[in-house]
């Protein structure tokens, strides 16, 4: 016998509750309704490498430098003549024509903090009251949803014990523009009378339970008097579209194998993010379902080493896994016809010291950083910028965070020279620092 599910008002309100800060779906939908909604299906996947990856061991090797600077890795040729990257990345080397390496990202913050990676603003510069909103929140405000069943902005970032490693909030835009968070503790908010996200993939259970709840709604009058946005919120969470996108068990096993799978319960070094390649696959599924921006954090890259320079032992583990899942994501997007529509950007908060110290390995180095880009209809197969012979300073084409984020906005169809958002004092604010322009090399 089917169980009849009663839906009281408190249970219904929990359906709309989305994580920390009291965000509710009705608030999110109301904010997006007032935004300039477009029909564009452009999207961005932003991948944060927690703790700052070593640029000179990955994409800016200096094999002719002294050993204490060059390290043990050797460069290899790629599909694009003249471009070399680390030998630990053979799969990325084969698809270099689909990638862009920025070797001269300057203006990096000096502390372990995810904020600049997610909003493009230097936290040491003046900040409007309430703080700068992160990139996805701005996009959700300006463009709204593509599909009513999929939020414009989703975060797959795992909560990390080291607070500054966590992505910032929506700033002065308010909690209604915070990301939809189906991972971590907020996953519990996606529960409908005992139906978890994992169980939503079971279509028969889904329909049986939702039919019961809808009957309750119709007979009890819970929805009577509810505004349009509350009704729409209920519709979103009772749609299987989002749950299906989050359920990678429905993916072709060969595709899952191509990305690789990690344990989401193992937080690297106890204060980093899990090393979970399947998050990249889930991000691809979400942009296919209509998400405009998906953020995720991946592993822990704050390697200092010690007397035996264990930094390189860590690189031997992380580099091949990174090579595998990132190449899988880029190839997958192209194979599924998303290569021109979805932009992938990968970076950490700063670079690493040129000299390898016996005590601290490669330490924090804000003078220069690197970023990896793909897709978005950009002119790929190139390197932007260069550093000196020890990868310590940018020597040509320094790239700012403003330019990088202006490029991401442009790829979504947002003109940063004209678009503003209003802060808590009623002042219009441009989206990027110094009204920077998109990277001309990529247009």
pTM for the model stands at 0.83
Topology of domain 42-173+254-442, per CATH? Alkaline Phosphatase, subunit A (3.40.720)
Instruction: Specify the residue for token string 């390189």.
Output: 312
Helices (H) and strands (E) in the chain, counts: 14, 15
What pLDDT does residue 214 have? 52
DSSP conformational letter for 133: P
What percent of the residues of the chain are helix, what percent strand, and what percent coil, each to the nearest 5?
40, 15, 45
What pLDDT does residue 419 have? 97
pLDDT at 36 over 90: no
What pLDDT does residue 243 have? 80
Give percent of the chain above pLDDT 90. Answer: 70
Give percent of the chain above pLDDT 70. Answer: 77
DSSP 103-127: EEE----SSS-SHHHHH---TTS--
pLDDT at 170 over 50: yes
CA-wise closest residue to 441 among 414, 420, 410: 410
Residue 213's pLDDT band (boundaries 50, 70, 90)?
A: low
DSSP conformational letter for 181: -
Alpha-carbon span 329 to 373, nearest angstrom: 12
Instruction: Work out the mean pLDDT of the chain and round it to a whole number.
Output: 85
Task: Count how many residues are written for the chain.
Answer: 443
- Span 393-397, mean pLDDT? 98
pLDDT at 143 over 70: yes
Segments making up each domain of the chain, as ranges: 42-173+254-442
Residues 6 or more apart whose CB falls under 8 angstroms from that of 242 comprise 149, 150, 151, 182, 236, 289
Run of H or E residues at 199: none
- The model's pLDDT over 301-316, given as tens digits with 9 standing for 90+, comes to 998 765 555 788 899 9
Residue 62: how many CB atoms within 10 A of its CB? 19
DSSP 414-439: --TTT-EEE-TTS-EEESSGGGPPP-
């Amino acid at each position: 016998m089917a169980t009849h599910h009663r839906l009281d008002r408190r249970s219904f309100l929990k359906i709309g509750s989305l994580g920390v800060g009291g965000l509710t779906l009705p608030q999110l939908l109301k904010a997006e309704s007032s935004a300039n909604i477009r029909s564009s299906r452009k999207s961005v996947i932003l991948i944060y490498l927690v703790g700052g990856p070593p640029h000179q061991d990955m994409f800016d090797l200096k094999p002719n430098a002294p050993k204490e600077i060059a390290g043990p890795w050797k460069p290899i040729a790629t599909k694009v003549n003249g471009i070399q990257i680390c030998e630990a990345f053979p799969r990325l080397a084969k698809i270099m024509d689909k990638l862009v390496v920025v070797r001269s990202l300057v203006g990096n913050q000096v502390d372990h903090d995810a904020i600049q990676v997610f909003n493009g603003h230097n936290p040491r510069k003046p900040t409007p009251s309430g703080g700068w909103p992160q990139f996805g929140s701005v996009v959700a405000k300006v463009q709204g949803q593509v599909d009513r069943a999929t939020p414009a902005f989703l975060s797959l970032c795992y909560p990390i014990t080291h607070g500054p490693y966590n992505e910032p909030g929506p700033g002065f835009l308010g909690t209604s523009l915070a990301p939809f968070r189906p991972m971590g503790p907020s996953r519990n908010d996606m529960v409908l009378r005992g139906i978890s996200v994992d169980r939503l993939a079971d279509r028969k259970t889904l329909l049986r339970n939702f039919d019961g709840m809808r009957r309750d709604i119709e007979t009890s009058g819970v929805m009577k008097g509810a505004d349009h946005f509350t009704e729409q919120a209920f519709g979103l969470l009772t749609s299987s579209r989002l749950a299906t996108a989050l359920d990678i068990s429905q993916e072709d096993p060969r595709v899952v194998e191509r990305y690789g799978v990690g344990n989401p319960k193992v937080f690297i070094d106890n204060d980093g993010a899990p090393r979970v390649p399947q998050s990249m696959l889930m991000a691809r599924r979400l942009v296919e379902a209509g998400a405009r921006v998906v953020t995720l954090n991946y592993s822990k890259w704050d390697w200092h080493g010690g007397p035996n320079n264990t930094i390189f032992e860590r690189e031997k583990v992380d580099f091949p896994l990174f090579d595998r899942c990132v190449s899988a994501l880029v190839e997958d997007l192209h194979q599924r016809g998303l290569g021109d529509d979805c932009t992938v950007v990968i970076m950490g908060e700063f670079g690493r010291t040129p000299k390898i110290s016996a005590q601290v390995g490669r330490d924090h180095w804000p003078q220069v950083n690197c970023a990896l880009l793909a897709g978005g209809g950009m002119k790929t197969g190139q390197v932007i910028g260069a550093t000196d012979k020890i990868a310590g300073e940018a020597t040509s084409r320094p790239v700012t965070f403003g330019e990088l984020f202006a490029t991401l906005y442009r790829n979504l169809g947002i003109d940063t020279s004209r678009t503003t958002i209003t802060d808590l004092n009623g002042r219009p604010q441009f989206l990027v620092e110094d009204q920077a322009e998109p990277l001309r090399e990529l247009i």
